[in-house]
Amino acid sequence: AQSVTQLDSHVSVSEGTPVLLRCNYSSSYSPSLFWYVQHPNKGLQLLLKYTSAATLVKGINGFEAEFKKSETSFHLTKPSAHMSDAAEYFCVVSEGGGSYIPTFGRGTSLIVHP
Partner 1 sequence: EPEVTQTPSHQVTQMGQEVILRCVPISNHLYFYWYRQILGQKVEFLVSFYNNEISEKSEIFDDQFSVERPDGSNFTLKIRSTKLEDSAMYFCASSEMRVPPADTQYFGPGTRLTVL
Does 26 contact partner 1 by CB under 8 A?
no
**Closer CB to partner 1, residue 32 or residue 77?**
32
Cα separation, 27 vs 87, in Å, equals 27
Running DSSP on this structure, what letter comes out for residue 80? S
**Closer CB to partner 1, residue 3 or residue 84?**
3
Cα separation, 110 vs 68, in Å, equals 23
Residue type, 7: L
| Under 8 Å between Cβ of 75 and 23 | yes
Does 114 contact partner 1 by CB under 8 A?
no
Does 45 contact partner 1 by CB under 8 A?
yes
Does 3 contact partner 1 by CB under 8 A?
no
| Under 8 Å between Cβ of 9 and 109 | yes
Q: Which stretch binds partner 1 (CB under 8 A): 16-24, 42-50, 54-62, 67-75?
A: 42-50
Q: Interface residues with partner 1 (CB under 8 A)? A: 32, 34, 36, 41-46, 49, 51-52, 90, 94, 96, 99-107
